[in-house]
Amino acid sequence: MAGPPVLLSTSSVYPENCAYAFDLAERLGYDGVEIMVWTDPLTQEAGALQALSSLHNLPIGAIHAPTLLLAQRLWGWEPWAKIDRSVRLAEEVGAGVVVIHPPFRWQRDYAEGFVEGIAERQANTEVLLAVENMFPWRAGGSEMQAYRPHWDPVEQTYEHVTLDVSHASTGSMDCVDLLHRLGDRVGHVHLGDGTGSFKDEHLVPGRGTQPADTLLHELVERGYTGAVSLEVGTRKRSMEEREADLAESLEFARKHLGQPLP
């Protein structure tokens, strides 16, 4: 497939498991899979992931480190240990990217050395450590900066960034403008959509207000060499609705990347 490979994130099938994600990705015609490291044991074991990859003839394009709020205890409490283990997992399964969230503001020691720690680790691996754009937490008329050094990666010195369209929407940002400001530092893309709600919506691309189509066109024009990973929320959908949503998401990506439709 010419142009960026289109991956299915295992988070897009939650609460279904990793094995189901591989099966669905193969049936729908995705180019590969992004693994969200989660309580599902298959997401944590290189051997199991390699077996699934071989069975379905789908490469693993990215590993999402367990840095989410609900994954605080997964792989222990030490944040850098989680990052290091994620990098090793990516190296073992042949994934080119590790997606990382910035620290929460209460993780003070981790946050104070985060930018430098990412740079040090990046110097020792060919895997891209791509820190994701996040958003302020909002409730009513108030707003809290939950991430340090900041939820917006533009002013930080990360060598590589994951551009998440849904997070851009929640942060009241335009994903194309964010691409322009980040430039060649964008090493990975999470494709979804949003309406600007305070909730992180992860809608099917095209169902929100973000210019996701323009983003994909510009990535192609720039000669972007990373992957585009569908990260779409389907938790409250039936099996049939989930599969239809993820087929529609793939069709959207293929169309605006200029690739043959599945």
pLDDT at 1: 62
Q: Please, is 72 exposed, middle or buried when counting C-beta atoms within 10 Å of its C-beta (0-12, 13-18, 19+)?
A: middle
- List per-residue pLDDT tens for the chain, 262 residues long: 678 999 999 999 999 999 999 999 999 999 999 999 999 999 999 999 999 999 999 999 999 999 887 777 888 889 999 999 999 999 999 999 999 999 999 999 999 999 999 999 999 999 999 999 999 987 766 777 899 999 999 999 999 999 999 999 999 999 999 999 999 999 999 999 999 888 899 999 999 999 999 999 999 999 999 999 999 999 999 999 999 999 999 999 999 999 998 7
| Calculated CA dihedral for residues 239, 241, 243, 245, nearest 10 degrees | -150
The residues spanned by each domain of the chain are 6-257
75: region left, alpha or beta (phi > 0 left; psi from -120 to 50 alpha): left
Architecture of domain 6-257: Alpha-Beta Barrel (3.20)
**For position 86, what pLDDT does the model report?**
98
pLDDT at site 185: 98
Residue 20: its pLDDT value, please? 98
Instruction: Report CA dihedral (251, 253, 255, 257) to the nearest 10 degrees.
Output: -160
Q: Collapsing DSSP states into helix, strand and coil, what is residue 166? A: helix
Phi/psi of residue 230, each to 5°? Answer: -75, 115
Report helix angle 79-93 to 46-56, nearest 10.
40
pLDDT at 175: 98
CA neighbor of 156 nearest in space, from 175, 188, 182: 182
